[in-house]
A and B are shown apart, each in its own frame.
Chain A
Amino acid sequence: MAFVKFHNVSKVYRMGEVEVAALMGMDFQIEEGEFVVIVGPSGAGKTTVLNILGGIDTATSGSVVLDGNEISSYSEAELTKYRRHDIGFVFQFYNLVQNHTARENIELASQICDDPMDPDEALIAVGLDHRKDNFPGQLSGGEQQRVAIARALAKNPKLLLCDEPTGALDYQTGKSILSLLQNRCHDTGRTVVLITHNLAFADIADRVIHIREGRASQVATNDHPLSAEAIEW
């Protein structure tokens, strides 16, 4: 039984008179503990997939199942609970609360969970133990993204979703973030889904889902993924 299963998922945005189909029968599966990279050009619908998977958007039709639960049929309240307990989100622009210290940003997430990781541990895990009392403004982009990852991890989510986590970072930092994500995935067996337009990232994934015009054009598994340190772009 697949951990994540998209079956014939379509998403239609209504923009005034015009209907724009973002997803048109998306089908793919992800196994638990995999490091998954979803790649595709801009506008292919990868963010929509992430949104639907992350419970921040709903599919127009089709079914989405995570760990045996059909989230596509969830009510808003159930989706909230789902996001709260099952999903960790890492944003392109980190989305840290500027007014909170690094530790507080993590606490912000952990305090609403049933079984959170200790914020300090989460910081240790991302290697920012020493910056825990710093405000985001006092941290570099990479550090901020680490804090964001720590925040996602602290919730002990079933699924860690990352939306272009390196998009706002320089090459080196991006690499280290990718490495961190890959390591967290492999070390803790946590399923990580990362979307990017960068094909180079496909090499480090256990499973690569290529998306084109609202469909999964190709789903490939990588038996020997490269280390994040190894790839270049």
Chain B
Amino acid sequence: MTGPDMRSAADRFYDGTHLYDIRLLSTLGYSDSQIGEVSSVEGVENVMPSKSTDVMGDINGEQYAMRVSSLPMDSVRESTCEDGCDVESSDPSYLNRLVLVQGRWPEKAGECVISADRVAGVPFEMGDTLEVLYGSQDLEGVLALRSFTIVGTAHSSSFVSAVTMGATSLGSGSIQQFAYVTEDTFDGKCPYTELFVEVKGASALFSGSEEYEDCVDAVTKRLEGLAGELSASRLADIKREAQEELDEKSDEYETEKIDALAELDNAQRDLDEAEDKLQSGEKELASGYDEYNSGAAELHDRMSEAQTRLDDAYATLLETQAQLDASQAELDANRSEVDAWPAQREQLASQLSEAQQGLATALEGLSSIRELEEQAAALPEADPARIQIEAALTQRSQEKAQAEAAAASLPSTIEQIERGIAQGDALVAEFEKNQALVHDGYEQLSVGWTEYYQQADEAQRQFDEAQMELDAARDKLSTSQEEVDEGRDKLASGKAEYEDNRKRALDELSDAANVIAEAQVDIDSIEPPEIYVLDRSKNYGVTSQVSDSERIDNIAAVFPFVFFLVAALVALTTMTRMVEEERTLIGTFKALGYRKSRITGRYLVYAGVASVVGAAIGLAVLSQVLPYVISKAYAIIYNIPEPPLPLQFDWPIGLLAGGLGVGITIASTLAASLATLRETPASLMLPRTPKAGKRIIVERIGPLWRRMSFSWKVTLRNLFRYKKRLFMTVVGIAGCTALLLTGWGLHDALWAIIDKQYGPVVHYNVVVKLDEDASNEKISEVESELVSVGEAQDVNLVHGENMQMSSAEHDALGAELVVPADTDAFGALLTMKDRFTQQPLSFSDDSVVLTEKLARTLQVGVGDEVFLFEQDEIGNPLGDGSSLEVTGVMENYIGNWCYLGGEAYRKAMDEDAMVDTLYGRCTENMDKRAVLTDSLHDIEGVRTVTFNDETIDSYRTMLSSVDMIVVVLVVSAAALAFIVLYNLTNINITERRREIATIKVLGFSKRETSAYIFREITLLSLLGSALGLVLGVLLESFVVVTAEVDYVMFGRDIHPLSFVLSVAMTLVFSAFVMLFMRRKLDDVGMVESLKSVE
């Protein structure tokens, strides 16, 4: 009943959240007029337009392929939800209503709610940021913001499967997370991309039921009929909008063109002006130069004139100098005489004084001599004094002569000397006079020189001044010259620039004109949009939930069969025993004259009441508990709220199940009582002839029988004695073991997905996806980062692509295409082998290897043809596809993969496979990985860095939920084992009380007594387990194949340990029952043996 319960829970959730019935996708979006058109279609109750886009988002370092959609947040905010399922809103067109789990609703652009159900590898909190890395399309003009704040988490009925939320072209090809945002988070220009339609009356019908499908299909058909019209009107809208925009642009172009041209003209004019200015400047400069030159000439003239004058003055001065020098020289020549004069004069003066003195002396001598003579003369002559005076006079005669001579000559000498002295003095005076004259001349000359130099200096100063002025003028001129030159250069570059600009402007204008023209062409050639009318069956979550619930139906069909079989057997034995125990009573009744029907009726009523009560309890409990438990397990995959307890009871199935149970019990009671009633009352009154002992088959095998110990013989005898019980026990135990094996096998199969995929098949643990057009440099940069930071080994370059594949037998389905650059080296990262033969597959340049599940779904094998398609946004195959011949089918558990050799790809796609993905085996160290991730993300063009551990973790989470089913199976098996064994042991003991009492009296110890009875049960348990293993293998493979989900292949092998465990658990269960029953065995009193047979 779990399947229907799951479906009705889903229906309740879908109705409560107003999940769309039909989703209209348009490749070009919708405008209001189409929304109106859709709304007015008959049967359409409500229409909710929404904008959505698929992006790669990053939450705290973990990346998700996610769908960002808009909701009418005003309506969302005022909606209320009491029970986690029914969302009330006053806005009837608010569809796909969300159930808020945590946080609050978005209030402004950039706030989002994300899935409350998606298991996040990296935990996040409210207020964390969701970074949009890139989109499946260019996000320009789609999303106004690239970074959202997570303000809440919610359940969404549009995405009930937390494992895969739908197909996308991003990441691994499936949507892993959703984000609902306000409409203004999207760019204003982004049109509504999809319309959600609620069909009138559909919510009253059971989702997925035929009535529902009919109801929705009618509207779907109408909408499909309308699709052409919608497409045309949308096309018209788009064309009109685009045309308007283009016209605007074109106008803009025209004004801009005019502006640009005017600007150019202005520039030209500016340039011309500058030219004029420059020219006048040059002219000014030239006149300046002229002025300067004439000034300089004048200066030069003046200078030379002054020079001449100065030179003349100089010459005169020099002449004067010369004359003076000559005079001086003359003077100097006489100077010695003059200089000697004083001495001469002295000499002369002394000569003179000498002469004068001589004269005076001579005169005095003469006078003395004349006086003497006169005295002598006066004295008579021969006076002695005269003779002495005449002797002194004679002696002084010479002196007298000399004196007379001197007196005679000396006056002329004196005169002469005096004349000489006078003459000398005159000469000296003259010299002195001349000397003074020369001196004066020199002084005058000196003055002249001074004057000359002053004049010269003055002239020089004046010249220098003039020169300075001139120089200043020249400097000014040269500055002006520079300015002018600069101006010239500037003008030249300005002109060049102008030319450039002009050219550019004209180019741009012509480009713009071209763009406009092209845009016009584009607008004219806009293809009408594709309109997809998708009902819920195209919703991954809805569909897979239904198929999973159907899968449970399949499984559910088998388990009850097993349980019913056992229950029937139990009921049969119990009732038969009851009837037989009362044979005496029956005999008595019969003897008393009761009719058969009366007697039978008594037992039938008893059996009926008992079984009806039992069935009622069973149904009441199991119809609630089992579906609850299984739904709970599936709740991890599907976020459909659990229906309120008690679960809705499915009467037909419940009655069928109950009826079968009751029917079987009554039938077996009837059979037993009728069999008893066939006997005569007399024989009934007698104790029933105990079932006679018989030879058993084994006895006929003499050697074997003889070799057996007594107790074994006894055991075997007993086994063969009660065939019904043997059969029942074996079947019951087999059922128990089979269930256990199914449980463990399922467990193995599920965990094998991880254990066999990662290790035996997949050896890489990191995948780095780059932009499709990533350059070789970037790729080698990533490669070297992987090797250096991530310590990666066996880094392989591949081309990866999400594609669609189909075959002659099967429609297209998503597959991940991988084209390794080096097929040989790729072997280090992926083991390709056949699961059955375990032989490695050859993988070369022209190989086409499919994974097993893909090949099986497509129903193809080696040598068969498959078709490869590119896919569009929503995972529809494009084009006619390229044919490939399968060369190998490899063991693989997770995902549908197609490995192509480079040559095979080239053949199929007509182009070389471009490397855009790197696979490698990197370090296990988490810190290093974090560093690696960061450094890889820093490289431009790196889109995603995925470690297998994340995938493994998410599978682990998913699988541990399915382990719940294993628990259910183990508990069921245990229950079954207890019921069967307890009942049988109980019957065994009750029927054999006498025998047991007897052997006790014979002195069997407790242990021996237990062994005597339980040896049979042990043997039966072993026998049953063995049979159960066979049954279990069948049941397990049925369940595995039935329960298998898309994209995943469960393990096909049951682990040896599971066999051991199943048998061991069965034996433990039976041991437990035996332990329990031993007490009952002990309770059998020996006194029993003495009683008479009743």
Q: Which residues from chain B contact A155 at a C-beta distance below 8 Å?
A: 1002-1003
Q: Tell me the complex Cα distance, A84–B1084, Å.
A: 18
- Of all chain B residues, the one with the shortest Cβ separation from A82 is B1003
- Of all chain B residues, the one with the shortest Cβ separation from A113 is B1003
Are A54 and B1001 in touch, CB under 8 angstroms?
Answer: yes
Q: Which of A89-140 contact B (CB under 8 A)?
A: 89, 91-93, 95, 97-101, 104, 107-109, 111-113, 135-138
Are A80 and B998 in touch, CB under 8 angstroms?
Answer: no
Are B693 and A98 in touch, CB under 8 angstroms?
Answer: yes
Q: Which residues from chain B contact A60 at a C-beta distance below 8 Å?
A: none
Of A47, A99, A111, A163, which is in contact with the most chain B CB atoms at under 10 Å from its CB? A99
Q: Which of B714-722, B780-788, B1073-1081 contacts A (4 or more CB under 8 A)?
A: B714-722
Binary contact readout B985-1014 vs A (1 if CB under 8 angstroms, 0 otherwise): 000000000110111111111101000000
Q: Tell me the complex Cα distance, A93–B690, Å.
A: 13
Of B693, B710, B721, B1087, which is in contact with the most chain A CB atoms at under 10 Å from its CB? B693
Q: Which residues from chain B contact A77 at a C-beta distance below 8 Å?
A: 1005
Q: Which residues from chain B contact A92 at a C-beta distance below 8 Å?
A: 1090, 1092
Are B1001 and A83 in touch, CB under 8 angstroms?
Answer: yes
Chain B CB within 8 A of A186 CB: no
Of A81, A108, A136, A155, which is in contact with the most chain B CB atoms at under 10 Å from its CB? A108
Q: Which of B385-419 contact A (CB under 8 A)?
A: none
Q: Which residues from chain A contact B994 at a C-beta distance below 8 Å?
A: 95
Are B713 and A104 in touch, CB under 8 angstroms?
Answer: yes
Are A81 and B1090 in touch, CB under 8 angstroms?
Answer: no
Chain A CB within 8 A of B706 CB: no
Q: Which of A83, A135, A163 contacts B1003 (CB 8 A)?
A: A83
Q: Which residues from chain B contact A111 at a C-beta distance below 8 Å?
A: 710-711
Chain A CB within 8 A of B691 CB: yes
Are A97 and B998 in touch, CB under 8 angstroms?
Answer: yes
Chain A CB within 8 A of B1086 CB: yes
Binary contact readout A49-63 vs B (1 if CB under 8 angstroms, 0 otherwise): 001001011000000
Give the interface size class of chain B: 20 to 34
Are A51 and B693 in touch, CB under 8 angstroms?
Answer: no
Q: Tell me the complex Cα distance, A82–B1003, Å.
A: 7
Are A112 and B1090 in touch, CB under 8 angstroms?
Answer: no
Q: Which of B711, B714, B1087 contacts A56 (CB 8 A)?
A: B1087
Q: Which residues from chain B contact A81 at a C-beta distance below 8 Å?
A: 1003
- Of all chain A residues, the one with the shortest Cβ separation from B721 is A99
Are B1003 and A85 in touch, CB under 8 angstroms?
Answer: yes
Of A89, A92, A97, A101, which is in contact with the most chain B CB atoms at under 10 Å from its CB? A97
Binary contact readout B1057-1093 vs A (1 if CB under 8 angstroms, 0 otherwise): 0000000000000000000000000000011011011
B352 → chain A closest CB, angstroms: 202
Chain A CB within 8 A of B678 CB: no
Q: Which residues from chain A contact B1089 at a C-beta distance below 8 Å?
A: 56, 89, 91, 95
Q: Which of A93, A109, A137, A168 contacts B693 (CB 8 A)?
A: A137
Given A81-B1003, A95-B994, A112-B1003, are A104 and B689 neighbors across the interface (CB < 8 Å)? no
B1089 → chain A closest CB, angstroms: 5
Q: Which of B689, B710, B1000, B1002 contacts A137 (CB 8 A)?
A: B689
Q: Tell me the complex Cα distance, A34–B1006, Å.
A: 32
Chain B CB within 8 A of A153 CB: no
Given A51-B1087, A104-B714, A138-B692, are A112 and B1004 neighbors across the interface (CB < 8 Å)? yes
Q: Tell me the complex Cα distance, A87–B1089, Å.
A: 15
- Of all chain A residues, the one with the shortest Cβ separation from B1085 is A56
Q: Tell me the complex Cα distance, A113–B693, Å.
A: 25
- Of all chain A residues, the one with the shortest Cβ separation from B690 is A98
Q: Which residues from chain A contact B707 at a C-beta distance below 8 Å?
A: none
Are A56 and B1001 in touch, CB under 8 angstroms?
Answer: yes
A201 → chain B closest CB, angstroms: 18
Q: Which of B952-1001 contact A (CB under 8 A)?
A: 994-995, 997-1001
Are B1003 and A80 in touch, CB under 8 angstroms?
Answer: yes
Q: Which residues from chain A contact B700 at a C-beta distance below 8 Å?
A: none
- Of all chain B residues, the one with the shortest Cβ separation from A102 is B693
Given A56-B1001, A93-B1092, A100-B717, are A135 and B692 neighbors across the interface (CB < 8 Å)? yes
A134 → chain B closest CB, angstroms: 9
Chain A CB within 8 A of B694 CB: yes
Q: Tell me the complex Cα distance, A85–B1005, Å.
A: 12
Q: Which of B687-736 contact A (CB under 8 A)?
A: 689-694, 710-711, 713-714, 717-718, 721
Are B693 and A112 in touch, CB under 8 angstroms?
Answer: no
Given A100-B714, A163-B1090, are A109 and B1002 neighbors across the interface (CB < 8 Å)? yes
Are A56 and B1086 in touch, CB under 8 angstroms?
Answer: yes
Given A54-B1001, A108-B1002, are A98 and B710 neighbors across the interface (CB < 8 Å)? no
Q: Which residues from chain A contact B713 at a C-beta distance below 8 Å?
A: 104
Are A100 and B1002 in touch, CB under 8 angstroms?
Answer: no
Q: Which of A134-148 contact B (CB under 8 A)?
A: 135-138
Q: Tell me the complex Cα distance, A60–B256, Å.
A: 126
Are A104 and B710 in touch, CB under 8 angstroms?
Answer: yes
Q: Which residues from chain A contact B1004 at a C-beta distance below 8 Å?
A: 80, 84, 112
Are B1090 and A47 in touch, CB under 8 angstroms?
Answer: yes
Q: Which residues from chain A contact B1086 at a C-beta distance below 8 Å?
A: 51, 56-57
Are A83 and B1002 in touch, CB under 8 angstroms?
Answer: yes
Q: Tell me the complex Cα distance, A89–B1000, Å.
A: 11
Q: Which residues from chain A contact B1003 at a C-beta distance below 8 Å?
A: 80-85, 87, 109, 112-113, 155
Are A89 and B689 in touch, CB under 8 angstroms?
Answer: no
Q: Which residues from chain B contact A56 at a C-beta distance below 8 Å?
A: 1000-1001, 1086-1087, 1089
- Of all chain A residues, the one with the shortest Cβ separation from B995 is A97
Of B995, B1002, B1004, which is in contact with the most chain A CB atoms at under 10 Å from its CB? B1002
Are B1005 and A95 in touch, CB under 8 angstroms?
Answer: no
Q: Tell me the complex Cα distance, A84–B1000, Å.
A: 9
Q: Which of A84, A91, A104, A138 contacts B998 (CB 8 A)?
A: A91
A212 → chain B closest CB, angstroms: 20
Q: Tell me the complex Cα distance, A69–B688, Å.
A: 42
B412 → chain A closest CB, angstroms: 213
Given A108-B714, A108-B999, A112-B1003, are A98 and B692 neighbors across the interface (CB < 8 Å)? yes
Q: Which of B694, B711, B714, B1090 contacts A91 (CB 8 A)?
A: B1090
Q: Tell me the complex Cα distance, A154–B1004, Å.
A: 15
Q: Tell me the complex Cα distance, A5–B870, Å.
A: 104
Q: Tell me the complex Cα distance, A179–B721, Å.
A: 35
Q: Which of A145-179 contact B (CB under 8 A)?
A: 151, 155, 163, 168
Q: Which residues from chain B contact A109 at a C-beta distance below 8 Å?
A: 1002-1003
A137 → chain B closest CB, angstroms: 3
Given A81-B1003, A112-B1002, are A100 and B693 neighbors across the interface (CB < 8 Å)? yes
Q: Which residues from chain A contact B690 at a C-beta distance below 8 Å?
A: 98, 136-137
Q: Tell me the complex Cα distance, A151–B1089, Å.
A: 15
Are A93 and B1093 in touch, CB under 8 angstroms?
Answer: yes
Binary contact readout B1035-1055 vs A (1 if CB under 8 angstroms, 0 otherwise): 000000000000000000000
Q: Tell me the complex Cα distance, A159–B855, Å.
A: 82
Q: Which residues from chain B contact A91 at a C-beta distance below 8 Å?
A: 998, 1001, 1089-1090
Q: Which residues from chain B contact A135 at a C-beta distance below 8 Å?
A: 692-694
Can you report 26 A-B residue pairs in the complex whose CB atoms are below 8 A from each other?
A54-B1001, A57-B1086, A83-B1002, A84-B1002, A84-B1003, A85-B1003, A87-B1003, A92-B1090, A95-B998, A97-B998, A98-B691, A99-B714, A99-B721, A100-B693, A101-B693, A104-B710, A108-B710, A108-B999, A111-B710, A111-B711, A112-B1003, A135-B694, A136-B690, A136-B692, A137-B691, A151-B1002
State the A residues within 8 Å of B (CB). 47, 51, 54, 56-57, 77, 80-85, 87, 89, 91-93, 95, 97-101, 104, 107-109, 111-113, 135-138, 151, 155, 163, 168
Known: A91-B998, A100-B717; 15 extra A-B contacts, CB below 8 A, are A51-B1090, A54-B1001, A56-B1089, A84-B1002, A89-B1002, A91-B1001, A91-B1089, A93-B1093, A97-B995, A97-B998, A99-B691, A111-B710, A112-B1004, A136-B692, A137-B693
State the B residues within 8 Å of A (CB). 689-694, 710-711, 713-714, 717-718, 721, 994-995, 997-1006, 1008, 1086-1087, 1089-1090, 1092-1093
